[in-house]
Amino acid sequence: MSYPKELEFDRLTVDEKYHRAVPGYMKRLCSLYEAIHRRFGESGLDLIRDVSREYGTSIGMNVKKRNLKGVAQVGKYLLKVFDMVSEDWKVGEFSENRLVVIVSRCPYGFTIDELCQAHTCMEQALVATLDKNLEHRIGRSIPKGDPYCEHIICARVISG
């Protein structure tokens, strides 16, 4: 595509575009969540939870064809999801029954724990859709004042 000389500029590579745009989109998402929460309170959180669950279930249904089962396979997929969003994570614990992913900086900038919990309904739904015997939960949480977040995948606790 040609432009008048006055409008010419150096085009960014795909990597440069990604690294510049994604953090802005994540901050924007956090701002939208905060506005929804301010305006609608608990019903706004319900909306965020519902949308997050639907999205996680949708991803899970698309990936389910791969027949991922167990902490290692489902955890590996979730790590790929995390890696698309941020580089500020590491595996803190791994066994046949449990994976703990430590995230040192919230890529979304959440400061309100309820928003983080509502947002991570996506991960909960994704994990549950991929393997009904597993669950995802948050342990430590930056929005709660912890120095890092823990995303935990483990065997589903059946209350009885």
Token pair for residue 62? 């698309």
Rounded to two decimals, what is the model's pTM?
0.87
**What pLDDT score was predicted for residue 160?**
60
**What pLDDT score was predicted for residue 132?**
95
Task: Show the DSSP H helices in 9-156 as ranges.
Answer: 14-63, 70-85, 113-119, 121-130
Cα–Cα–Cα angle for 43, 148, 106, rounded to 5 degrees = 55
Measured CA to CA, the distance from residue 69 to residue 89 in angstroms comes to: 23
**What pLDDT score was predicted for residue 122?**
96
CB proximity list for 83: less than 8 A, separation 6 or greater = 89
Q: Reply yes or no on whether the pLDDT at 86 is more than 90.
A: no
Q: Reply yes or no on whether the pLDDT at 40 is more than 70.
A: yes
Chain segment 137-160, per-residue pLDDT in tens: 999 999 999 999 999 999 987 766
Please state the domain extents for the chain.
11-155
**What pLDDT score was predicted for residue 22?**
86
CB 78 within 8 A of CB 127: yes
- Average pLDDT over the chain reads 93
**What pLDDT score was predicted for residue 23?**
87
Least reliable range by pLDDT among 49-58, 76-85, 129-138: 76-85
Measured CA to CA, the distance from residue 154 to residue 75 in angstroms comes to: 9
CATH 3.30.1380.20 fits 11-155, yes or no: yes
**What pLDDT score was predicted for residue 91?**
97
Measured CA to CA, the distance from residue 98 to residue 18 in angstroms comes to: 32
